[in-house]
Amino acid sequence: MIRIEGLERQAGTYRLEIERAVISSGLNLIVGANGAGKTTLIELLTTLQTPDAGDILYSGRKAADHLPLIRSQIGYVPADIELYGDMKAGKLLKYMAELKGVYQPEAIDKLIGDFRLEPFRKSKVKHLSQGVQRRIAVVQALLASPSFLFLDEPLNGMDAEERKFLITYLTQYAKGRMVIVAAHELNEWEEATDNVIWIHRGRLRYNGSPQQWKLSVASSVWEGEVDLSDFERIPQERLIHFQMTDERMKVRLMAKKQPGPEFLEKEPTLEDAFFLHMDALARRG
């Protein structure tokens, strides 16, 4: 468990403030618009940044008082990680394990096998695809079997198969541990998410179950097919998703009541809920 108390961080004109929050084990999904503070929060939680005020406690221990111990329990995959491109993948993971003081050949071999990296063990990292490099980045974060695993946009550069595998792996890994993921593409995490953390303009707006996140807004989600002329009359701010089908538009939108007889109410997804919450904030001004 991580407990946040009176957290403040100023970076130029941007300010992050979280008065109080508790983050439990399981897979926690941090959501928010660009510039909301997702990466800043992750860097504070991973101890890469130091707060200007407040405390972060890991299983009851303050980071300021137990920094080496807490860092030994943290794994981190930043959004723009730079690996040693001239090193071979296998040697890189051996080197990273030695740096962490957890070098165990059997453990590395297992992770290489789990992440299907064996064919690339003797290849230089710079010659590998972005998706394979991301898998290597995740493995290096897992080398010490961290209790707290943080990943910032971990699916970047991965193909569909790699994305599905990683989400499944993290879902299993999060059982009894804490995994915190910052992501923009929310629907891929629909079945995996145990808790949603919504950051908006440097403030914590929501921290709770995905089910409650979906139900705690007044508007609903509707889906239907309309003619192009009718589609053009739909306010842009109402639209969630649309797709051309023959000469009609399949539309997914948000509204408090049924926008027309061709629309059916749908259960909101995580991404729908994000749009609904953002719309509710905009309406409140």
Q: Give pLDDT tens digits for 84-140.
A: 899 999 999 999 999 888 999 999 999 999 999 999 999 999 999 999 999 999 999
With residue 73 as reference, give the H or E element that holds it: none
- Output the average pLDDT for the chain: 92
How far apart, in Å, do the first and last CA atoms of the chain sit?
34
Q: Are 138 and 96 in contact (CB under 8 A)?
A: no
The predicted structure's pLDDT at residue 285: 60
Over range 147-162, report the average pLDDT: 94
The predicted structure's pLDDT at residue 245: 85
Q: Are 69 and 234 in contact (CB under 8 A)?
A: no
Strand partners, 224: 251
Let me know if 35 is exposed, middle or buried by CB neighbors in 10 A (0-12, 13-18, 19+): exposed
The predicted structure's pLDDT at residue 163: 94
DSSP, residue by residue, 203-251: EEEEEE-HHHHHHSSS-EEEEEEEEHHHHTTS-GGGEEEEEEETTEEEE
Which of 268, 162, 178, 156 lies closest to 223 in space, CA to CA? Answer: 268
